Amino acid sequence: MTISVLTIVKNRADHLAELVEGLRRSVVPPDELVIVDMGSTPPIMAPDAAFPVRLVTLGMAGLPLAAARNAAAHIAKGEHLLFLDVDCIPMRGLVGEMRDQLERVDGLICAEAFYLGPTAARDGWDEESLKLSARSHPVRAFPADGIRVEGNAGLFWSLVFAIRGSRFADLQGFDEAFSGYGAEDTDFGFRARDAGVPLLFKGGAGAFHQHHDVFDPPLQHLEDIVRNAQRFYDRWELWPMEGWLDGFENMGLIARIENRVILRRAASAAELADARKSSAF
C-alpha cells in the first residue's frame, strides 16, 4: 500500500526544509510529499527529493487550515495519508510505522510530537541528539510502543496523524465552515468518533516539533477563534479551546453569555507583545 505525506505551509520555508530532510532520512520514504502553500511571501519553492513532490498554492486569504488540508488530501495519490504540520520533523521510522498500522487498523492514528528548544534542529542535526533534548507534551500521554485506544476525542491533534484515504473521504475531510484558525481539528475528531472511527495513540517513532514563538493565549487569532468556537458550540453544545477562551475572557476581550460568545474588543499592541512566548509550555 502507498502512503502520501501531506503538509500545509505559510511563510515557514526553514521549517519545511527540515521536515523534508526528515523524510529524506526515513527508513521507508513516502510515496510522495504533497505541499499546500497558503500564500507564503515569497512563494514556497518545491524542494528536491528522491521521492515525488507536488506543490500547489491555495488562493485564499488568512490561514485556511481546513481548506488547505482538504486540498492536500484531494490531490494525494497514496492509499494512506500522513498529515504533518510544517514545523514537525518526522523520525526515521514514522512513515513506515504509520503505513503498517493503517494496514492493520482502520482508525485515526496520532503519533507523539516531541518539543525542541530554540537551538535544536540546526544544520547537521541527528535524531539521537534531538531525542535527548526534546520534551513530551504535558497533557497527551502516548504508549512506549504499539497503539492504544484514546477515548477522549478532544485529544485528537492534527500535528502528526494518519488515516486511510478512503476513510478521510468518507468523513468528508475537515469542515471548511471552520474558517481560519481553531476548532476544525477537534470537530474532525468528534465526527470521526461519531462515525465509529477509533482515535488511536501510537508509540514508537513520532516527530520533533521545531521551536517557534507562540502567543498564549493566541491573540493573533482572536477573531477566528471566537467565530469558530461559536460554530463548534452550536454543533456540539460544548465549548472548544476553553483554556484560550478563558484567557480571552479574563482579559476582557470576549464575554460568554448563555450559549453565545461575544467579541468585546481587539487586543492591544501591548497585550499582543505580552502574550508572545518563546515556548508552548
The overall average pLDDT reported for the chain is: 94
**pLDDT at site 61:** 85
Q: Where exactly are the structural domains of the chain?
A: 3-209, 214-277
**pLDDT at site 119:** 77
Instruction: Give per-residue pLDDT as tens, 178-222.
Output: 999 999 999 999 999 999 999 999 999 999 999 888 889 999 999
Of 45, 51, 46, the residue nearest 23 (C-alpha): 51
Q: Which of 54-63, 94-103, 245-254, 272-281 has the lowest mean pLDDT?
A: 272-281
**pLDDT at site 121:** 72
* Share above pLDDT 90 across residues of the chain, in percent, rounded to a whole number: 88
| Contacts (Cβ under 8 Å, ≥6 apart) of 75 | 34, 54, 56
**pLDDT at site 118:** 82
> What would the grid cell of residue 204 be?
514508537
The residue count for the chain: 281
**pLDDT at site 281:** 53
| Start-to-end C-alpha separation, the chain | 38
Higher confidence at residue 118 or residue 166? Answer: 166
**pLDDT at site 213:** 84
> What is the three-class DSSP state of 205?
strand
Query: To the nearest 5 percent, what fractions of the chain are helix, strand and coil?
Result: 35, 25, 45
DSSP 219: G
Instruction: Give per-residue pLDDT as tens, 96-140.
Output: 999 999 999 999 999 999 999 887 777 788 999 999 989 998 888
Gap between the Cα atoms of 32 and 76, Å rounded: 8
Residue 278 scores a pLDDT above 80: no
Q: How many CB atoms lie within 10 A of CB 275?
A: 17
| Contacts (Cβ under 8 Å, ≥6 apart) of 15 | 9, 86, 87, 210, 212
| Contacts (Cβ under 8 Å, ≥6 apart) of 66 | 173, 174, 175, 176, 178, 179, 184
Q: What is the dihedral of CA 77, 79, 85, 88, to 10 degrees?
A: -110
Contact 168, 191 (CB under 8 A): no
**Mean pLDDT, rounded, for 232-236:** 98
**Mean pLDDT, rounded, for 275-281:** 71
**Mean pLDDT, rounded, for 32-45:** 96
Q: 113: which strand partners?
A: 207
Gap between the Cα atoms of 12 and 121, Å rounded: 14
Contact 229, 261 (CB under 8 A): yes
Contact 20, 47 (CB under 8 A): yes
The domain made up of 3-209 has a fold known as Spore Coat Polysaccharide Biosynthesis Protein SpsA; Chain A (3.90.550)
**pLDDT at site 185:** 96
Instruction: Give per-residue pLDDT as tens, 47-89.
Output: 999 999 999 999 888 899 999 999 999 999 999 999 999 999 9
**pLDDT at site 137:** 86
Q: What is the dihedral of CA 93, 154, 220, 259, to 10 degrees?
A: 170
